[in-house]
Chains A and B, each alone.
Chain A
Amino acid sequence: MSELLTLIAAGLEVGSLYALMALGLVLIYRTQSIVNFAHGELLMAGAFVGYVAFQPMSWPFPVALVLAVLSSTLLGVAVERVVIRPLVNHPHATLAMATVGVSVAVRGAARLPFGSDILTFPPIISAAPVFIGSLVISAQTVLTIVLAVSISVAVFLLIWKTRLGREIRATQQNYLGAKVVGINTGKIYSSSWAVASAIGGAAGVLAAPLTLLYPDMGATFLLKGFAAAVLGGFGNPLGAIVGGIAIGILEKLVGAYFSTYLIEISPYVIIIVVVFVRPQGLFGRGQIVRV
């Protein structure tokens, strides 16, 4: 029993990161109908910047987190302005190709300084583990979950409670309508990418102690983010969160009771199964099947 609970706690920890990933993907998708294949690189950039600040520079963790978030945000906004904006009226296929190009280019750029070795990120805090009954959870796990939840809540408040959030939703629902009421849609595009990239950068720093740091690390998270978003019905932010957590827990259970090899393919299998069995996802919305 306590083993199961421990697995679930570990699943929550990674799952909350997949959820952050999916949340960013969905945000961009809803604003511009773009699937951002470069989203993993936003996470990777955040992780590396956080690493440099936290490790060689030995700055406090909050500083590292803020720097990582800022640099991912900057990168994301730049990608939107330079690559996406000129193509925004083009078909999905064109945009997908462009973001794939960005993804590989950013990876290449990261390989220059960080390519030679695989880095490890030490635990952020060394506090004593938390005991809940017979269950022992490391402080690191607790911190990750708490931060991920806080970030998600902040994003939801932003989307549902602020004027910017309302303008983002308006633009998502009706682009022309947004223009008609005087919303600066260009600003909304940048803001959506900024928020999504900030989430990605934060996820990167939180993911860093859990995984190794290497230029290709974003790919895994991208696919898990896709799987989470697809499971939640691509386009639904709440679905993305639930999907991410479900996949995190599922993969820990599969890893413990079946085989760790299967962890790696779980996102692919989930994407393919969901698309075939329940393409509208758990929280059905979004246009999956051609009309």
Chain B
Amino acid sequence: MLEHESVEKNELAEIVNRLRCEIELPPALEDFFDFEGILPTTADERRRFARMDLRSFGALEYRQTFPVLPRSSCWHRIYTKDLSRGGLCFLHSEQLFPMEQMHVILPAETVKTVLPRCERMIIEIRRCQRRGPRCYEIGACFISSFRDLAAEIASAS
């Protein structure tokens, strides 16, 4: 596991590159890395921010969010699909569950145009769809800090 504090900006790309990729792209996604650009916001989507197609790599750090779902803290290589100021869509080799909160590191040069200051972000999972045996498409939104779910749970029960 890598310590967040010791991770300098210029090391982020290094981390991403070092990670082994466990994603298996299914035939339907073979051309995944073939296109890039700005995605138009369609009329039926109530998106707050325009999405930018971002076919690249990133790193995801697991973190235990729910008491009932053990997650050991470790990094995974992900494929980013698109990005907006509000959130991120990416491919990952495992299923993630709604409301799980994790860290994600995104490649600096592309992110800068969309997210001016930040490269290591906190995300909360919104949706997860299976695209193949080791391929899940995951939608997540950026949040400013991890929620104290333990406290929320304690006050709810």
Q: Do A and B come from one complex?
A: no
Interfacial residues, chain A to chain B (CB-CB below 8 A): none
Interfacial residues, chain B to chain A (CB-CB below 8 A): none
